[in-house]
A and B are shown apart, each in its own frame.
Chain A
Amino acid sequence: MHKKISGKILWLPLCFVACGTLHAQTKSGKETGLGRPATADEVKQRDITTLPSGAGLPEGKGTAAQGEAVYRDKCALCHGPNGEGVPPQGTQLVGGVGSLASDNPIRTVGSYWPYATSVWDYIHRAMPLNQPGSLSADDTYAVTAFLLNRNKIIEAGEVMDKESLPKVRMPNRDGFIPDARPDVGKNAARSDEKKNRKSETH
């Protein structure tokens, strides 16, 4: 009886020590051992990130001519035969260049999107809406090429792949400025905001 009680008394502080240590570990940067190491293979399989530099783009290639058929089968229903859009289902993808400062700005791949890699990335991630992830890398390059060509950014025969796509210069590449808010709202703490902004956009 006496033994049992002293056992309990001993364990209680030990538990507190253990709990305190876990907390200290996460705060101080020491590892807890939770989670398991990711294997290189599973990272490769799940990683679909692309960057404007072209990093992350896979092997494969396509031209606008090849992309026309893919577009007709997979995209035209929502975005119109020529990328003119079918509101409200599908946004306009072609045209609008030069309209952004007008009373009727039209945001499309051609007029608004600053990076060609973003086009590839979005199609690869999210399109077609009813079956994202169903297009092959070749088809994705081809449809991207089709949209760039219809927007008069590349020629019909130009091959888009992981080397050429990041080199495409989009018309609105320089159309973006860092968030300048607070741009209204008197007495706004502009100095703090500028400090934050600097770190966000380096």
Chain B
Amino acid sequence: MKDKSNDRAKDISSRTDSRGRRRFLAATTTAMAATVTGGLTNLWGEEGREPGSPLRPYGERSPFEKAARKNSRPGQMSGTGSSLTPLENLYGIITPSALHYERHHSGVPIIDPEKHELLLHGLVEKPLVFKMEDIKRFPSESHIYFLECSGSSTGEYLAETAATPQQTAGLFSCSEWTGVPLSTLLREAGVKPSAKWVLAEGGDASRNARSIPLEKAMDDVLVAYGQNGEAVRPEQGYPIRLIVPGWEGNINTKWLQRLHVLDQPSMTRDEAADYDDLLANGKSYRFSFVMEAKSIVTRPAGGQHLAGPGLYEITGLAWSGRARIADVEISTDGGKNWRKAELQQPVLKNAAVRFRIPWNWDGNEAVIGSRCTDESGYVQPTHQQIVAARGTHARFHYNGIKWWRLQKNGELTNA
């Protein structure tokens, strides 16, 4: 399907260049009127222009646009693994839902929202079952929040520096999420005084489950059914998922079907024996929930090419799960000098922040990177600082500064 549309785009593209365009149009007018393709319009100097595509019920992007998610580790069992957001192709702070990164432990279930039920039980006064129609009747909220898999940039621990923004930090996306606060549902059921944790379980085949401290659950966790103005995508947990702002992706349970209020964490595999940062001394951090301040230059960046000296915009994304982003600085000399970037407004807590700075490339070699600071005073660390604190086998929660090397010929690679 994808290849077909790519070919079509290529065809159209080559036809624009061709002098025989009018002949082509004449020969195919009837056929084109019957398809959604339409003619290429608005070419300067053309007379007798053809009307474009007809209306369509659900839009698609231009056939010229190719940005796509990428499987991070091909070869894994079908339904498992992750796909990476092409950060270098994004503008602003919102990730299109179709490009939001994926991480599945047992494939994407197909769930009929009419039949879906959310069970809330355990240490509550009144165990309840909610249908989707119940959940949508509660007062709703919308927030722009980022999601980042705790395994994002994992290769950087081992200095397997990735070649592009997508490859190094593509397990990061940002959406506007709409739903009901989890606290609303918990209050409806009446949480007992002995409650301290909430186990959230997904309706995927693996019943993926994570325990959330009650304090966080009562604070800002969202039971979301909306993503970027429409229903949450199947890959993102349709019909409902948890959004746990600022915390590692894995705890943002998708396809939410059960909430179990407990006095202790369940110690499911993911929290007890997987998403823990293994330190050089053999001990592991447990419950590393917060995704710490991180930023990355997405353009110009590895895998890209600059045409020649002159004006460019250095831009990228910054985020922090601990506090609002306060500053982003840019260096083009590997960290010797830093300049403050402009931050796109509004700057929201637990959301992606777009930064930009104009840059006049003089044609010499450059090493480009960004460093962010959040309002807690935390400064994005270097690779060396992280490794000094945790060693090289922690696997998760890597947030070091990422450098791109620009060569005189305009090629950009990881540095």
Contacts and interface: CB of A to CB of B under 8 A. Distances in A.
A132 B378 CA distance: 42
A47 B207 CA distance: 11
B177 to A, nearest CB: 18
Interface stretch (A34-42, A60-68, A144-152): A34-42
A187 B285 contact: no
A78 interface: yes
Contact of A112 (B188, B205, B273, B390): B273
B184 interface: yes
Given A26-B138, A178-B287, A179-B288, A89 B127 contact: no
Contacts of B209: 49, 125
Interface in B280-330: 280-290, 292-293, 322-323
A144 to B, nearest CB: 12
B128 A200 contact: no
B143 interface: no
Contact of A185 (B286, B289, B381, B390): B381
B268 A113 contact: no
B206 A125 contact: yes
Interface string B360-389: 000000000000000011111100011011
Contact of B127 (A38, A51, A187): A38
B232 interface: no
B379 A121 contact: no
A192 B287 contact: no
A12 to B, nearest CB: 20
A114 B376 contact: no
Given A26-B139, A43-B119, A192 B267 contact: no
B379 A186 contact: yes
A118 B273 contact: yes
A113 B273 contact: yes
B129 interface: yes
B335 to A, nearest CB: 14
A34 B285 contact: no
A116 to B, nearest CB: 10
B127 A37 contact: yes
Interface stretch (A2-10, A100-108, A135-143, A156-164): A100-108
A26 B206 contact: no
Nearest to B285: A179
A128 to B, nearest CB: 10
A28 to B, nearest CB: 8
B77 interface: yes
Binding site secondary structure of chain A: loop
Contact of A100 (B185, B216, B282, B322): B282
B377 A184 contact: no
Contacts, number: 203
A17 to B, nearest CB: 15
Interface in A154-187: 175-187
A36 B128 contact: yes
Interface in B60-95: 73, 75-77, 79-80
A31 B134 CA distance: 13
Contacts of B266: 49-51, 121
Contact of B389 (A23, A184, A189, A201): A184
A34 B188 contact: yes
Contact of A181 (B215, B281, B290): B290
B133 to A, nearest CB: 9
B267 A115 contact: yes
B80 A183 contact: no
Given A22-B139, A51-B264, A187-B378, A182 B273 contact: no
Max chain A C-beta neighbours (<10 A), residue from B120, B137, B139 = B139
A89 B137 CA distance: 43
Interface string B251-264: 00000011010101
Nearest to A104: B393
B299 to A, nearest CB: 25
Contacts of A126: 105-106, 205-208, 269
B398 to A, nearest CB: 11
Given A184-B381, A201-B286, A114 B273 contact: yes
A188 B376 contact: yes
Interface of A: 22-23, 26, 29, 31-32, 34-38, 42-43, 46-52, 78, 88-90, 100-101, 105, 107, 109, 112-115, 117-119, 121-122, 125-126, 129, 132-133, 175-189, 192-193, 199-202
Given A113-B269, A183-B390, 9 more contacts: A32-B188, A126-B205, A133-B207, A181-B292, A184-B381, A184-B388, A185-B378, A189-B378, A200-B213
Q: Which 5 A-B pairs have the closest CB atoms?
A: A101-B282, A126-B206, A187-B377, A100-B282, A189-B376
7 contacts: A38-B128, A38-B129, A49-B260, A113-B273, A115-B272, A178-B286, A188-B378
